[in-house]
Amino acid sequence: MMRFKYCMLLILVYSLFFSQNKGPDSLQKYSYQELQQKFYNYNNSNQTDHAQRISTYFLHKAHLEKDDEQKAEGYVMMHFNENLPNALKYLDSLQVITRKSTKPFYPARVYLLRGNLYSKFYNVKAALGNYVLTLEHAREKGNKRQIAFAEINIAYLNNYVGRYRDAANTLKHYLYKTDYLDQKDYDNMHVNLADTYIDLNKMDSANILIKEGLNLTSEAGRTYQYHGYLVESGYYHLKLKKYQEAVDDLLQCKDYFFTTHDVRNQSYTLYYLVSSYIGLGNKEKAVENFKLLDAHIKEKNYIFPELRMIYPYVINYYKEKKDRENQLYYIERFIEIDKVLDSQFRYISRELPRRYEKPKLVKEKEIITHELENKKIIFYVSSISLLSVLLVFIYLYYQSKKAEKQHRQIAQDLIQKVQENNKNEPAPAPQPENIMVELPSEDPKERNANTISEDVVQHILKELTAFEAKDQFLNKGITLGSLAKRVKTNSKYLSETINTYKGKNFAAYLNDLRIDYAIRRLANDRKFRSYKIQFIADELGYNNEQAFTLAFKKRTGTPLSIYLKEIEKSEN
């Protein structure tokens, strides 16, 4: 039944809307986006009648087309130009229709709009509650724009209760360190920061912002914004006790703002005028403008803390005049206003730290705690990593020391063998040409088929003995083929004989002869030992130093450098 009545009401409103226009075709040609653009253009320029007609048509169109997303936008547009109870109903409908929305700006958007609505109607208690809820939900969704709007509006409430420094810090942050808000938002912060600087007695900073604002808005022909800065200019001069300059600014603002719907600037213009006339000692002008101010705040119900400073002056004025009637009236008005301010001030002063500052500090505590925990984890991981690296380093160090000790022992053993051979080795006797070389015993199963006659083997072994005795292995460029020619056999027979009777291939055989020679000569020949390694390598038939040192390590098990050091030690 309620839904039927609601639909009938919409139809009635829709009919009335078309009766006031040339016809339904006047708006039907526009898309939802175009209608929204027209609405906000009218609304921002205070053409509320045109704006309301568009929002009514927009919402009716969305209902007919059963478009929930556009219904939501219709409820938003409809709430702007309604009284508080009706506006709240539209926002309640917005909350219902978006309760399952997955969009990142819900439900924070509903609470933000409610906060702005309560602020518009000067209910600072309800405004604060909704801004805090906006902040909670916006943080959950990570919506930085809504977080900004909530914190900026909370900054204005901080300003309201005299926490100017907190307000200034927030406004400075969003004005100078962000780039994701609209220009009108930055304009509002700019003028409000100027106001906050005046409250903080940072007059130079305030003056810079005011001059910037006046110049920019004047050049751009933005009359409304220009007069907003002119109010701040009046307040600036008032605070500096330049009362006449303040009056000159504020009279222009009085003429302008009372042609608009801007209750706040109307109220503060009158308040600053009263204060300036008091400063000039012009009691009549002060009381004249005060009466306008009192009637205005009574009609608009816009009450602000600074009123406490002005009512006692007027009460004393009528007391001096012995005007008991007006004195009593303004005493009652002062008590009434003070009661409201006391309630609001105490609530905001109490609830701001509890509902905003404390959660904010708790959040900051969580962030700092998390950072510290991360630092601890990083410290522990780094410590473990460093300890592991240190342990590996110690292990490798001891392993290297152990290996070095082993290498020194090998080198010492090699030197000792050379020395023993030097003592026990008799001078070689010349062998007859026809001497027989004793062949090593062998297992027939392990030998290849007898493809080489014993005479040939005897010949090859005899030639190899001469090859070794004459140190011909030191010649560069020796190959299996070149040695076979010298021995007067073929490469196959030579290779097979070396493999069988020397127990290694040709390359290993040649390399071992050279390294064994190096071991002996380095130990016995100081002069040879004094040569550079490259020269020694060349003398031994190697093409380069690296090939020699690698071959030495492979053959002996110790590096050449350690072997040379141990030789020097043994001689010393």
Residue of higher predicted confidence among 67 and 391 = 67
> Which tens digits make up the pLDDT trace of 442-496?
554 344 445 788 888 999 999 999 988 898 988 888 999 999 898 889 999 999 9
Instruction: Give residue for tokens 């704006």.
Output: 51
Distance CA 530, CA 481 (A): 34
Nearest residue to 356 via CA among 196, 200, 157? 157
Q: Find the largest Cα–Cα distance for the chain.
A: 158
Say what the pLDDT of residue 133 is: 92
Say what the pLDDT of residue 354 is: 53
Prior bond of 85 cis (ω within 30°): no
Nearest residue to 184 via CA among 208, 158, 152? 152
Q: How confident is the model at residue 399 (pLDDT cuts 50, 70, 90)?
A: confident
Distance CA 188, CA 207 (A): 16
Q: How confident is the model at residue 23 (pLDDT cuts 50, 70, 90)?
A: very low
Q: Percent of the chain, pLDDT > 70? A: 86
Which DSSP category does 175 fall into? H
Distance CA 24, CA 3 (A): 25
List the alpha helices (DSSP H) in 425-479.
Answer: 454-469
Q: Percent of the chain, pLDDT > 90? A: 52
Query: What are the DSSP E strand ranges found in 380-497?
Result: none
pLDDT of 116 strictly over 60: yes
Contact between 160 and 304 under an 8 Å Cβ cutoff? The reply is yes
Say what the pLDDT of residue 353 is: 54
Residues 6+ apart with CB under 8 A from 409: none
Residues 6+ apart with CB under 8 A from 256: 223, 227
Average pLDDT estimate for 47-69? 93
> Which tens digits make up the pLDDT trace of 315-358?
999 999 999 999 999 989 988 888 887 776 665 555 545 554 44
pLDDT of 364 strictly over 60: no
Residues 6+ apart with CB under 8 A from 232: 191, 194, 195, 198, 206, 210, 213
pLDDT of 12 strictly over 50: no
**Tokens found for residue 16:** 């009335």
Average pLDDT, the chain: 84
Say what the pLDDT of residue 359 is: 55
Nearest residue to 235 via CA among 263, 256, 216, 207? 207
**Tokens found for residue 424:** 């026990």
Q: Which CATH number fits domain 454-571: 1.10.10.60, 2.40.50.140, 3.30.70.120, 3.20.20.120?
A: 1.10.10.60
Q: How confident is the model at residue 290 (pLDDT cuts 50, 70, 90)?
A: very high
Nearest residue to 238 via CA among 272, 208, 266, 269? 272
Say what the pLDDT of residue 386 is: 84
CA 505 to chain centre: 66
Say what the pLDDT of residue 268 is: 94
HEC assignment per residue over 50-72: HHHHHHHHHHHHHHHCCCHHHHH
Say what the pLDDT of residue 16 is: 41
pLDDT of 424 strictly over 80: no
CA atoms within 13 A on the CB side of 158: 25
Residue of higher predicted confidence among 118 and 371 = 118
Domain ranges of the chain: 1-101, 454-571
> CB neighbours (10 Å) of residue 368?
10
Say what the pLDDT of residue 350 is: 55
Nearest residue to 318 via CA among 300, 335, 330? 330
Burial of 477 (0-12, 13-18, 19+ CB in 10 A): exposed
Average pLDDT estimate for 425-433? 49
Distance CA 501, CA 440 (A): 7
Global pTM reads 0.58
Average pLDDT estimate for 539-560? 91
HEC assignment per residue over 13-45: HHHHHHHCCCCCHHHHCCCHHHHHHHHHHHHHC
> CB neighbours (10 Å) of residue 16?
11
